[in-house]
Amino acid sequence: MSAVTHRVVIVGAGFAGLAAAHGLAGANAAITIIDQRNHHLFQPLLYQVGTATLATSEIAWPIRHLLRRRSEVTTLLGVVTGVDTTTRVVSLEDGAAVPYDTLVLATGARHAYFGHDEWEPYAPGLKTLEDATAIRRRVLLSFEQAERESDPTKRTAFLTFVVVGGGPTGVELAGAIAELAHVNLPTEFRHIDTRKSRVVLIEAGRRILPSFDEDLSSYAHEALVRLGVDVQVGAAVRECNAEGVVYGDQTLPAKVILWAAGVRASAAAAWAGIPTDGAGRAKVESDLTAPGRPEIFVIGDTATINAWHGKPVPGIAPAAKQQGLHVAATIKARLAGDAAIRPFAYKHSGNLATIGKRAAIIDFGWIKFRGWLAWWIWGLAHIYFLIGVRNRLAVALSWLWIYVTGSRSAYLITQAEHRPKAVPQGSST
Ligand SMILES: Cc1cc2nc3c(=O)[nH]c(=O)nc-3n(C[C@H](O)[C@H](O)[C@H](O)COP(=O)(O)OP(=O)(O)OC[C@H]3O[C@@H](n4cnc5c(N)ncnc54)[C@H](O)[C@@H]3O)c2cc1C
């Protein structure tokens, strides 16, 4: 066996970066994977941490531990801030420099506010574990403040929860908060009836879940209404502030506003001087390389490519994983002396979304499901894709417990702002 000389640096250990690292097993290369967090996160279940269903440790795993058996892989905790494409070095925030021969950029995306970043403090989005625990704190704190509030108008505002964006995340958040308020919490408070909480889902488009067929989208709409969610479509949000939200021609006082609309790619394209689309995603070549830079790959949510029968590849976990594995196969082929261009083609296996704990919609293309059967398929699919037997068992048990008893165990208000007294009544939580 020849000495290992080729250095592959992967930036980002999300679905795309981790799949690339896994796919490179057995390659004659020294691999360095760099992430700003020490954990890989299963974002599809993040909303369940935000709504007190699951604990953080059930949906995240230390990257170092996941790669512990790969002696050729070095895991670094650090924030990448740039790439020198001439000297082929990745630079970190702390001044460190990591040289590469092949670079894989897989730094994902974050929520975006359509040019209104000033709304973020009032309408946080959901992307990281910190976001999820901050949302959980806001939601639970609002019930606590309502319990202590004697002014009925202010109490109503504390019990009004607004979710902006009718995609899968918005639908899942709204459904879960409605169940929390209407099913799980009523017996736990003495001065408020949490069943009187109002959960409003605001979507600017004509219908929720536009990536699904019209019939599944209408089913989801009706299922949300049955859960007690007030679904407002065709109304764009014009303002978010400490007092509430302005949408269409309405002003709605609300102390909890959650943002599930809009996405912006990481800065990876700018680091490597790659042209982008309107959402900041790197426009890559057919083989996922940067234009004119065959040694740089950009994959997952931070790239855009029309590789789904000529349509853009969706920003979902299976697409990111497929890209990671594709790039790993290309790198391995190159190391074996095969420099042929290998175009990426996305294979879509289906769309899934859940509405509370008894209904879901699934579109596999060749067959569609909705209702409780879809919910079970959704649940099994998510358990299957979690990493490790322990997490699969823990999540399955948490769901079973909630399903049978209606009681959630993750009602924890953590981090700052945890004392209701510290938050002046009438101010934003
Ligand atoms: C709330 C939510 C729910 C979702 N639900 C679903 C779902 O149900 N089904 C589905 O298929 N998809 C879902 N998605 C989308 C899916 O999670 C993404 O498409 C997928 O995570 C993209 O993978 P990625 O590897 O490109 O990015 P990510 O998984 O986001 O990983 C990017 C990694 O890069 C790291 N990183 C970023 N910047 C830097 C930097 N400067 N330096 C070092 N490291 C950095 C991050 O810490 C992160 O670990 C959901 C997303 C969200 C936010």
Average pLDDT, the chain: 92
**pLDDT confidence of 3, banded at 50, 70, 90?**
low
Query: Which tens digit of pLDDT belongs to each residue from 117-169?
Result: 999 999 999 999 999 999 999 999 999 999 999 999 999 999 999 999 999 99
d(CA 117, ligand 1 centre) in Å: 20
Q: Is the pLDDT of residue 426 over 60?
A: no
Reading the block at residue 301, the tokens are 């949510």
Residue 21: predicted pLDDT: 98
Q: What is the mean pLDDT of residues 96-103?
A: 98
Count of other CB atoms within 10 angstroms of residue 26: 10
d(CA 146, ligand 1 centre) in Å: 34
Please state, for a pLDDT cut of 70, what percent of the chain lies above it.
Answer: 94
| Residues classed as catalytic | 172
Query: Which tens digit of pLDDT belongs to each residue from 161-172?
Result: 999 999 999 999
Residue 416: predicted pLDDT: 62
Nearest-atom number in ligand 1 for the CA of 352 is 8
Nearest-atom number in ligand 1 for the CA of 80 is 42
Helix or strand run (H / E) with residue 140: helix 129-148
Query: Which tens digit of pLDDT belongs to each residue from 397-413?
Result: 887 877 777 666 667 78
Nearest-atom number in ligand 1 for the CA of 108 is 27
Q: Is 17 in the pocket of ligand 1 (CB under 6 A)?
A: yes
Query: Which tens digit of pLDDT belongs to each residue from 313-343?
Result: 999 999 999 999 999 999 999 999 999 999 9
d(CA 14, ligand 1 centre) in Å: 6
Q: Is 140 in the pocket of ligand 1 (CB under 6 A)?
A: no
Please state, for a pLDDT cut of 90, what percent of the chain lies above it.
Answer: 82
* Backbone Cα Rg of the chain: 23
Helix or strand run (H / E) with residue 385: helix 372-385
Q: Is the pLDDT of residue 244 over 90?
A: yes
Better-predicted residue by pLDDT, 91 or 425: 91
Sheet containing strand 250-253, edge to edge, reads 237-241, 244-247, 250-253
Of 347-361, 364-378, 384-398, 407-421, give the lowest mean pLDDT range. Answer: 407-421
SS3 373: helix
Q: What is the mean pLDDT of residues 18-46?
A: 97
Q: Is the pLDDT of residue 419 over 70?
A: no
Burial of 25 (0-12, 13-18, 19+ CB in 10 A): middle
How many whole angstroms separate alpha carbon 412 and alpha carbon 415?
A: 10
Query: Which tens digit of pLDDT belongs to each residue from 249-274?
Result: 999 999 999 999 989 999 999 999 99
Nearest-atom number in ligand 1 for the CA of 13 is 49
Q: Is 262 in the pocket of ligand 1 (CB under 6 A)?
A: no
Ligand 1: residue whose CA is nearest its atom 26 = 300
Q: What one-letter code names the amino acid at 298? A: V
Query: Residues 6 or more apart from 23 whose CB is under 8 A from it?
Result: 324, 325, 327, 328, 329, 332
d(CA 43, ligand 1 centre) in Å: 6
